[in-house]
Structure 1
C-alpha cells in the first residue's frame, strides 16, 4: 500500500471509513462481520481508520476499540466529537466542556490512551470556532489527542481555526459527483499543509454502478432523505453512469476504482476513506491505489462529471444548515 502524509503521520493512501459497519445505511452488520472487515483492512495495509462518537451513538467506536486496540501501534486512529447521540437523538454541541467530556468517553470506548486525529465533526455555529478548537488544543496539551481535524467547514473557517492551533486534516465529502471542495477548501488545505480527507468518495454507492434502484434501500437508510437519491433525481443521475462505465473499462478498472483513483490524482494531500461492509469490496477499493490514470482519462472524467451535470443537492435543507462548506 502506498502512503501519504497526514500531519506527523504516514498513512495508507486509502483509509477506511468505519461508519458503514454501525450506522446510517440500515441495520448494522454483525459484530463478527465488522471484525472481519476491520482485520482484513489491517492485513491489506490500511493504516488510517476513521470513526466517530456519532456512528451508532458510540457503537462504532466500541467496535473499533474492541477489534483493533490490540494492534494499536500499527495504525493511525481518527475519531470525531461535537456531534453525538443524546437520549437517542443527534445533537451538535461544540462547547468546550462538552468536547472534553466526550473525548474522555471516546477514549474509553476506543480502549486507548490517545486519539491520533480528533475532528470537530460539525462546527456548532452557536460557539465561535476559535473556542471549540481552543478546547481541542487543551486536549493536545493534556496528551489525550495528538492532532486536530475539522469536518464540513469552509476555507475561511479553516483559516480561523488554523490560527488558533494547526489543523492536521480537513474532512468533507468529495467525489466525482460532489466537487464542492474545488471551490476553495482544497486549495486552502494545500496552502496550510492540511491533509484533505475525502469521505463518501464513491458517492454513497452511486459511483460503483451497483445501486440502480433506490426503492431497494432500507427504510432507515439516510440516503432516502438526500435529494440526489429521490427517485426522480436518481433516475436522472443514473444516465451519467454509462459514460463512467465506458471510461472505467478504457482505464482497465472498475467504476469504484476509477472514482477513487481520480481522487488520488487531485493532489498528494488528498486521502480517500471509502467505507464498506464487504471484504471483497474493500479489496476492490484498496487496489485503486495502484491505478494510474492518463491525462486523457482524467480529462474525460472531468468533462463527464461537472457539477452542472449532477441533479439535486447533496443534502436536504436541515442537513445543509448544519454544515459550513462552500456550495456550487
Structure 2
C-alpha cells in the first residue's frame, strides 16, 4: 500500500475513521470493530483516527480493547485522537482549547486506549476566542510531556494553519474532502502541500452518498446528524442519488465499487492526502482497500470529474447548527 508522512511518521495512505465504531451511522458491535481492525492490520493499513467524543469514548474503548487483545498491534499502528469539543452547564456545545481541558481529555483518552501516548493529537475544533498561536503552544506542551508525538487541527482555514505552523510544526489537518466536498481545493490542499502537512480527509465517501448503497431514507430519518443535514434532506437527497448513477456506472467500468473509486480519487489528489473512511464491516473495508491500491490515470481522473464536476452535489455539507466550529475560508 502507498504511504504518506504525518510529521515524522510514515503511515498508509488509507486509514480508519473511528466514528463508525460508535453507532454514529448505525448499530455496531465490538466484534465488528475488531474484524475491521484485524483486516486493516493484515493489509497494511497503519493509521487509526478517532476522537474522545465518538460515542462519548466508546470508539477509543473499542480500539483500546483491540490493542490489548492483539499482540504487537500497538507498535504497528499510528494512533490519532482529538479533543476540544465539550458542553457547558446548560448542555450547549462549546469549544475549550485550554491546557487544562486538552490535557485532562487526552489523559482520559490514553486510559481508554490503554497506551501511554498517542502519535497524533488534534484540536477537534479551534476555539476562535484564543489566538491560534496560544492554542498551538498548549499542544506543544503536551508533546514536551510525551503524551503525544505530534499535533494537528481539524477543520481550520489555510490562514490559521500558517499561523499555527509558525508557532510549532503541525503534522496534519483533518478536513472533510471528497468528490462531494471540494472546498479544501480552495487553498487548504495547497497550503498543506507547501508546509509538508498531511491533509487527513474524513468522509471521503460522502457519508455513504459515494457508495453503491447510500444510506436509505428510513435510516436517515432516525439519525440525529443526517436527518438535519441538507444533503440528506429532500429534495436534495433524491437529486443527489440521481446524479450519482453515472458515477456508480463509471466505478463498475473501472472494476471498482463506487466507494473504492471515491477513495482512489481522493488519494490521487496529492501525495500528502491520507483518506480515513469509516465503516462498520470488514466487507465494506475491503472495497476501500481496493480503492487505495488502485492506480488511476490522468484520463480516468478527468472522466470522474466529468461525471461529478465541482459543485454537483445538492445541499450544503452542514446545516447552520452543524457549521458552528469549522472555519469557513472561501
TM-score of the alignment, normalized to the shorter chain, above 0.5: yes
- How far does the alpha carbon of each residue in 1:197-242 deviate from its partner, in whole angstroms, 9 at most, with x for none? 1000000000003126323336134211110110210111112212
Name the structure 1 match of 2:320.
317
Kindly indicate whether the alpha-carbon contact (under 8 Å) linking 1:83 and 1:91 is maintained by their aligned counterparts in 2.
yes
Name the structure 1 match of 2:119.
116
Tell me which of 74, 77, 91 is aligned to 1:75. Answer: 77
Name the structure 2 match of 1:10.
10
Name the structure 2 match of 1:41.
40
Instruction: Give the CA deviation at 1:33.
Output: 1.9
Instruction: Give the CA deviation at 1:100.
Output: 1.4
- How far does the alpha carbon of each residue in 1:139-198 deviate from its partner, in whole angstroms, 9 at most, with x for none? 001111100011001100111111111000011000001000000000000000001110
Instruction: Give the CA deviation at 1:91.
Output: 3.9
Structure 2 unmatched runs, 5+: none
What TM-score do the two structures reach when normalised by structure 1? 0.94
Q: Distance in 2 between matches of 1:312 and 1:158?
A: 27
Q: Is 1:263 equivalent to 2:266 in the alignment?
A: yes
Q: Distance in 2 between matches of 1:217 and 1:313?
A: 16
Name the structure 1 match of 2:311.
308
Kindly indicate whether the alpha-carbon contact (under 8 Å) linking 1:171 and 1:197 is maintained by their aligned counterparts in 2.
yes
Q: Distance in 2 between matches of 1:248 and 1:189?
A: 29
Name the structure 2 match of 1:247.
250
Q: Distance in 2 between matches of 1:294 and 1:107?
A: 42
Structure 1 unmatched runs, 5+: none
Instruction: Give the CA deviation at 1:110.
Output: 1.1
- How far does the alpha carbon of each residue in 1:58-77 deviate from its partner, in whole angstroms, 9 at most, with x for none? 11111111112442101100
Q: CA RMSD in A?
A: 1.7
SS in 1 for 2:285: helix
Instruction: Give the CA deviation at 1:90.
Output: 4.6
What TM-score do the two structures reach when normalised by structure 2? 0.94
1:151-300 alignment runs, 5 A limit: 151-211=154-214, 213-217=216-220, 219-300=222-303
Instruction: Give the CA deviation at 1:119.
Output: 0.5
Distance 1:268 1:185, change over 3 A: same
Distance 1:244 1:324, change over 3 A: same
Q: Distance in 2 between matches of 1:98 and 1:72?
A: 26
Kindly indicate whether the alpha-carbon contact (under 8 Å) linking 2:139 and 2:151 is maintained by their aligned counterparts in 1.
yes
Kindly indicate whether the alpha-carbon contact (under 8 Å) linking 1:251 and 1:293 is maintained by their aligned counterparts in 2.
no
